[in-house]
Each structure stands twice: as C-alpha cells, then as structure tokens.
Amino acid sequence: MDTSRKPKALAQALQEIDELPSPVSGRATDYPANWHIAPHLHARHQLIYAVRGVMVVQTEVGRWVVPPTRAIWMVAGMTHEIRCIGEVHMRSVTVATDAASGLPGFTQAVGISPLLRELIRAAMDLSQPELSDLSDLPYIPDSRDGRVMRLILDEIRVLPVLPLHLQMPSDPRLLQICELLQQHLDDTSTMADWAQRLAVDVKTIQRLFVKETGMTFGQWRQQARLLRALELLASGEKVIDIALALGYDSPSAFSTMFRKQFDQTPSQFFAEN
C-alpha cells in the first residue's frame, strides 16, 4: 500500500498529528528536493525518519543532520524546522506523551535498527492517515497490530544516540564565533586568534565553550565541519572538493576524521542506504 502523500498545509497537518486517537501512529509524506518545513511544534513525540534523502533539523538548542538509516527523536513541545537535502521520503512515528514510560526525554539523533525499520514500515500500513472519523482507532490495541505498535515503543526506549548534533551557545561572544565559523568552515583561526579579535581572555572562551556546548573549541569546529560534510555528501559532492571546502589539507585527512567519528568511510556511510 502506498501511504506517501504530497506535502499539505502545515496547520492542517499539525492538527491531524495532534488529534490522532491512537497512542502510536505512523505517518508517511514525500517532500520534493529543497523543501522547507517551517518552524512548528507538536503535542506528541515524533520519531522523524527518512527512508530516502537527508534532513537538516533545526531547533532553538541546536542543529542535527540526519541521513537515512538514522532518525531524530523529537520530544513533544519543541519548536523545530526541517530542510530537505534532495528528495525526502519521510516515514514518521508519532507517540502520545503518556503512551509509555521510559521514553527518551531529550531531542536527539538516533540509529534505526533493521527491526525498527521494518516495524516503521508496518506502522505506515496500520495507521490509515486519512481517517474519516478521528475518534476511530485504526487498530485494536489487543491485537497483532497493537502488539506491533507496542514493540515500536520497546525499540524506541533502547535507540542508540548518535553524534549528529551541533549545540549552539547562548553567550553572545561564543555565538558570534560559531555563526562566523559556520559561514566559513575552512577558517583555521585558533582560539587565541578569536580571543584577540574579541578582546577576551583565551581561558574565558575555553571555559565557556565547554560549559555551553559540552565541547572544546576544536571539537565544536570539527563537529560543524562533519555535519556540513554530511550535507555535501548527500548532495553528491566529491570527497576532494568537500575536504578542501572544509579546510582539510587532503581528502585522506578528511576521510580519517570521518572514519574516526562513524567507524566508516564516507562512501560506506551512505552505501547503507
């Protein structure tokens, strides 16, 4: 059964999601290349998963780059927007906040196991997105279909967290550094260089970086480069061009960094799709 649909008015889609009667429900939507989903929030948790394409998810606490075989667990009530890199086939699971105990309490990038991938596909067939009466449950809780949905909850509880997040600081001095770096990721300025430009003590900036982002300056810049690399790889850019654009001395230096983070080369990472 083809459950994919064209993007519809955001307000209508939000109302449909938040009024779903079942505690767990699947939802399928296909988005064209470069589609932008404007900032919004849900009263339900969401497991946002794309079987095709790469999503860039932005919230007030940071940004995630999410390729296929990965997903975002978006907690209820968090405002977010999504930018599609290439055509995106989104297969989301929405979860009522009282559906189960032990669900993740933070928005985070997660891995999708082969079992959960198949369960998500099954959820698309069970949820019947165009219900004529939203008071009707699309499946009986104490049934095979209901057990499939409960198994999804079990899998969500043990999702592995992935390093696909870029935490943005709130301190205006650090925010200035981070915003400029994201515009010029090939910038090789040191922490001392930035401290001199901003007339701030180096140790102060170092301390604030760790406090507000959980990373050192060098780690933050590497993470920003890594996430941008995922976007460029998904767009079909060559590794040599990505390496030079992000300030690496050579493609091998970039590939070494990538392998250290994901235990895979860039080509292996996207071959999983």
Spatial separation of the C-alpha atoms in residues 18 and 5, rounded to whole Å: 18
Q: What is the CATH number of the domain that holds 224?
A: 1.10.10.60
Is-contact 195 202, C-beta < 8 A? yes
Residue-by-residue pLDDT tens, the chain, 273 positions: 344 445 555 556 655 655 666 888 888 999 998 899 999 999 999 999 999 888 999 998 889 989 887 899 999 999 999 999 889 999 999 999 998 899 999 999 999 999 999 999 988 887 554 443 434 456 666 778 888 889 999 999 999 998 889 999 999 999 999 999 999 999 989 999 999 998 889 999 999 999 999 999 999 999 999 999 988 888 888 999 999 999 898 999 999 988 888 888 887 776 654
**Residues 112, 36 within the same domain:** yes
Nearest Cα neighbor of 166 from 153, 148, 179, 154 is 179
Q: Is residue 4 a part of any domain in this protein?
A: no
163 domain-assigned: no
* Sequence-separated (6 or more) residues with CB below 8 Å from residue 164: 64, 65, 66, 70, 109, 227, 230
Q: Are residues 102 and 233 in the same domain?
A: no
Residue 38 shares a structural domain with residue 145: yes
Same domain, yes or no: 181 and 253:
yes
Number of domains in the chain: 2
Strands 108-111 and 70-74: antiparallel
Domain end: 125, 157, 189, which one? 157
pLDDT score, position 48: 95
Q: Which residues on adjacent β-strands are paired with residue 55?
A: 66, 84
In this structure, is residue 129 part of a structural domain?
yes
Write the burial class of residue 34 (CB in 10 Å: 0-12 exposed, 13-18 middle, 19+ buried). Answer: exposed
Same domain for 148 and 79: yes
Would you say residue 164 lies in a domain? no
**DSSP per-residue letters across 234-253:** HTT--HHHHHHHTT-SSHHH
Domain termination residue (choose one: 93, 125, 157): 157
Same domain, 89 and 149: yes
Q: Which letter, b or e, does each residue of 57-81 get, where b requires 16 or more Cβ atoms within 10 Å of its Cβ?
A: bbbeeebbbbbbbbbbbbbbeeebe
Whether the Cβ atoms of residue 64 and residue 50 lie closer than 8 Å to each other:
no
Domain contains 2 = no
Same domain, 100 and 217: no
**Domain containing residue 84:** 10-157
